[in-house]
Amino acid sequence: MVRAVAINGSPQMEKGNTALVLASFIQGMMDAGAEVELLYASRLTVKPCSCGVMYCWDDGPGECCIQDDMQLLYPKLKAADVLILATPVYVPLPGDMQNVVNRLMPLIEPKLERRQGRTRARFREDVGIQKIVLVATSGWREVENCDTVVRIVKELAEDASTEFAGAVLRPHADAMRADGKVTRDGQAVLDAVRRAGNELVKEGRMNQETLRGRAMK
């Protein structure tokens, strides 16, 4: 069975556009038999990385010296096959989400290697994550508004030597609802997102045609 951890970085949490899209993605994964745990970055207490000297690489390998809710998250992440990072575009990330991403460092091992002209590390052996997926929503119409966030998550996957399994992107996300209700077009997007989640679990990849560039890259 595929086990996934999804972290939603929106301060709007359950009420936000990101939660709307993420819920369909998770439903698609669960329909295919996956077990998905959903956490909200803003509900956790995750302080910024403050040691600044790579304690988790040098002095206490694999350990973070900050005692906060990241300590609850580390074992969940180690046990997961798939990590879903879900976020609104905030030029580029909401602060709570940025803290979570920075604090993933103890899961990464400083066995550095050169690949395609870049220095890369890898997840430690006790980390099961095989795939990282991005779910992002943005306010403006062009999907390119999500490019910086896509780049961040791609870089993270490269630095962990794990697969970037794709991005479910929904620009102009407010247009999915009118008067608080999901519109017909919005529902078409959510249905496609649900299929993408289903494909990820059943086929190990999301079909690039599923959302035909409208919501996925």
Q: Site residues (CB under 6 A) for ligand FMN?
A: 10, 12, 16-19, 88-91, 137-140, 145, 173
User: Which residue number, 93 or 129, has a Cβ lying nearer to ligand FMN?
Assistant: 93
Rank residues 65 and 178 by Cβ distance to ligand FMN and give the closer one: 178
> For ligand FMN, which is the closer residue by CB, 152 or 201?
152
Of all residues in the shown chain, the one whose CB is closest to ligand FMN is 16
CA-CA-CA-CA dihedral for 23, 81, 107, 86, to nearest 10: -20
CB of 46 to ligand FMN, least distance (A): 17
Task: Pick between residue 62 and residue 139 the one whose CB is nearest to ligand FMN.
Answer: 139
Rounded to the nearest whole angstrom, what is the least distance from the CB of residue 94 to ligand FMN in the complex? Answer: 7
Handedness of CA 10, 12, 13, 17 (dihedral sign): negative
Distance (Å) of CA 35 to CA 4, 128, 186, 201, 204: 6, 14, 26, 10, 15
CB of 162 to ligand FMN, least distance (A): 25
Query: SS3 for 131?
Result: strand
Nearer to ligand FMN, 22 or 127 (CB): 22
CB of 45 to ligand FMN, least distance (A): 20
State which residue, 39 or 79, has the beta carbon closest to ligand FMN.
39
**CA nearest neighbour of 86 among 38, 129, 53, 121:** 38
Alpha helices for the chain (secondary structure H): 17-31, 70-79, 95-102, 147-159, 184-203
Closest CA to 18 of 75, 120, 93, 77: 93
- Provide the minimum distance between the beta carbon of 151 and ligand FMN in the complex, in angstroms, as a whole number: 14
Structure-derived torsion over alpha carbons of residues 4, 83, 197, 42, reported in degrees to the nearest 10: 90
Cβ-based nearer residue to ligand FMN, 18 or 162: 18
Cβ of residue 20: shortest distance to ligand FMN, in angstroms? Answer: 8
Choose among 112, 109, 110, 93: nearest CA to 101: 93
- For residue 57, the minimal CB distance to ligand FMN (Å) is 32
Rounded Cα distance between 37 and 41, Å, is 13
- Cβ pair 175, 2 in contact under 8 A: no
